[in-house]
């Protein structure tokens, strides 16, 4: 192979190689597929940088990691993964003019150089939740939300959709995104006698909301955004038992089914396999379609990705970008699921 392309991986979930969220294997796997097909005659070197970002860390740590990758002359950056950090990173990306794919929920984390594989959406998820609550007759809704860019953005879109479809938001209480006890906020919301209960945020504070709600004996429907994806790890699913949430994978997706069969992926890893596969394909296809491996060339290569079957979302969801399209997933990419006795079950 005549050329080496450097791809930077920006991990905003920790300060070193032990940080969660490493996607290197998925990227390498899909790059090897296009190399084996003769579509990419170059070696790809993955370069890592780490900075614990918001809310537990700082945007400054993420910026230091980003600049470290830029100095190493990478042609493409993958990350950050958390919406608050993707928002912070977007102006840095635009200034540095290095193509970057974040895998967060922030629709505003897009630009000429900032591409976005949606892992949820601050803008779309609240519409899905509001319409579900309306459909099941929960017309009076109470909300607890993180006082953060993620929580407040979700709340804005929930309020907007509620006005359109006739939901009454009877209470909205903010909490710290790192809160460990949200009893007072839950009590104030329940005092407004809601028919449905909503949590909006990153998810670190979700168990602090779920526990007092469960202890209260309140029996109405409860729903949260993609914070519910945390149920795939630790005790979150038990703490949030009975909660409906927004997920990124569907049992009906044939692309995901084929991937799981091919790789022996079990049910609890399906969502991460779907995300890793889609992210890997975006990187591999962007490089394979680039006419040259300058940063401008890779950006143009990403823009050429069209209509790939996505493993995320409902069957028929498509993956790709465009000249002014920086959102990768197109179609019904958000899926309602529910935690029941530690298992995730698709709703509807």
pLDDT computed for residue 1 by the predictor: 43
Structure tokens of 309? Answer: 């079957």
In a domain, 112, yes or no: yes
- Using a 10 angstrom Cβ sphere, with 0-12 exposed, 13-18 middle and 19 or more buried, the burial of residue 234 is exposed
Range of the domain at 145: 125-247
Residue 68: strand, helix, or coil = helix
Q: Which of 247, 277, 309 is the last residue of a domain?
A: 247
What is d(CA 45, CA 215) in angstroms, rounded to the nearest whole number? 51
| 239 and 213 together in one domain | yes
| 36 and 131 together in one domain | no
- The β-bridge relationship of strands 196-200 and 168-175 is unpaired
| 130 and 109 together in one domain | no
Q: What is the pLDDT of residues 232-274, one digit of tens each?
A: 999 999 999 999 999 999 999 999 999 999 999 999 999 999 9
| 31 and 135 together in one domain | no
Structure tokens of 269? Answer: 């890893």
| 170 and 280 together in one domain | no
Task: Give strand pairing partners of 116.
Answer: 102, 327
| 178 and 84 together in one domain | no
Note the helical H segments in 44-182: 59-71, 83-96, 125-135, 149-165
What is d(CA 213, CA 241) in angstroms, rounded to the nearest whole number? 11
Q: Match 């104030």 to its residue by tokens.
A: 188
pTM of the model: 0.93
How far lies 288's CA from each of 113, 126, 199, 308, in Å? 18, 36, 41, 14
Structure tokens of 287? Answer: 């490089």
In a domain, 114, yes or no: yes
- Residue 276 CB contacts under 8 Å (≥ 6 apart), including other chains: 23, 25, 26
| 47 and 89 together in one domain | yes
What is d(CA 282, CA 277) in angstroms, rounded to the nearest whole number? 9
In a domain, 196, yes or no: yes
Residues present in the chain in total: 348
How far lies 9's CA from each of 3, 27, 99, 297, 326, in Å? 19, 10, 12, 19, 19
CATH code: domain of residue 183: 3.40.50.2300
DSSP class of 42: S
Do 331 and 314 meet the contact criterion of CB atoms below 8 Å apart? yes
How many domains does the chain contain in total?
2
Can you give the C-alpha Rg of the chain in angstroms?
20
Task: Give strand pairing partners of 319.
Answer: 308, 329
What is d(CA 219, CA 51) in angstroms, rounded to the nearest whole number? 41
Quickly list DSSP for 304-339.
T---EEPSSBSTT-EE--BTTB-B-EESS--EEEEE
| 212 and 264 together in one domain | no
In a domain, 30, yes or no: yes
In a domain, 20, yes or no: yes
Q: Which of 229, 247, 265 is the last residue of a domain?
A: 247
| 172 and 190 together in one domain | yes
Q: pLDDT under 70 in the chain at which residues?
A: 1-2
pLDDT computed for residue 348 by the predictor: 82
Do 76 and 8 meet the contact criterion of CB atoms below 8 Å apart? yes
Q: What 3 state SS string does 208-242 have? A: HHHHHHHHHCCCCCEEECHHHHHHHCCCHHHHCCC
- The β-bridge relationship of strands 329-330 and 318-319 is antiparallel
In a domain, 348, yes or no: no
Cα 282 → chain centroid: 15
In a domain, 43, yes or no: yes
| 34 and 53 together in one domain | yes
Structure tokens of 245? Answer: 């949430």
| 60 and 74 together in one domain | yes
Q: Which of 200, 226, 247 is the last residue of a domain?
A: 247
- Residue 292 CB contacts under 8 Å (≥ 6 apart), including other chains: none
DSSP class of 27: H
In a domain, 28, yes or no: yes
| 299 and 267 together in one domain | yes
């Amino acid at each position: 192979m005549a050329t080496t392309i450097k791809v930077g991986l920006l991990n905003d979930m920790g300060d070193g190689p032990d940080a969660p969220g490493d996607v290197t294997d998925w990227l390498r796997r899909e790059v090897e597929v296009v190399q084996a097909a003769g579509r990419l005659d170059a070696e790809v070197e993955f370069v890592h940088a780490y900075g614990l970002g918001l809310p537990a860390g700082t945007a400054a740590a993420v910026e230091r990691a980003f600049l470290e990758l830029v100095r190493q002359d990478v042609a493409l950056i993958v990350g950050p993964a958390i919406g608050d950090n993707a928002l912070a990173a977007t102006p840095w990306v635009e200034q540095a003019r290095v193509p970057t794919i974040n895998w967060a929920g922030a629709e505003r984390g897009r630009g000429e150089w900032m591409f976005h594989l949606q892992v949820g959406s601050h803008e779309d998820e609240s519409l899905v939740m509001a319409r579900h609550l309306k459909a099941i007759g929960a017309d009076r809704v109470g909300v607890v939300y993180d006082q953060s860019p993620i929580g407040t953005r979700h709340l804005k879109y929930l309020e907007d959709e509620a006005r359109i479809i006739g939901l009454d938001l009877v209470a909205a209480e903010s909490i710290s995104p790192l809160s460990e006890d949200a009893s007072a906020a839950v009590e104030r919301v329940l005092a407004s006698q809601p028919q449905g209960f909503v949590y909006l945020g990153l998810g670190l504070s979700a168990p602090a909301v779920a526990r007092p709600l469960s202890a209260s004996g309140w029996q109405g429907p409860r729903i949260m955004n993609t914070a519910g994806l945390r149920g795939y790890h630790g005790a979150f699913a038990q703490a949030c038992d009975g909660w409906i949430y927004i997920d990124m994978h569907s049992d009906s997706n044939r692309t995901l089914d084929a991937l799981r069969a091919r790789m022996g992926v079990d049910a609890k890893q399906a969502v991460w396999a779907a995300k890793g596969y889609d992210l890997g394909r975006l990187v591999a296809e962007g490089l394979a379609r680039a006419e040259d491996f300058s940063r401008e060339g890779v950006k143009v290569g990403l823009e050429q990705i069209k209509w790939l079957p996505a493993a995320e979302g409902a069957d028929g969801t498509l993956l790709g970008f465009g000249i002014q399209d920086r959102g990768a997933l197109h179609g019904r990419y958000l899926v309602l699921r529910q935690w029941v006795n530690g298992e995730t079950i698709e709703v509807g």
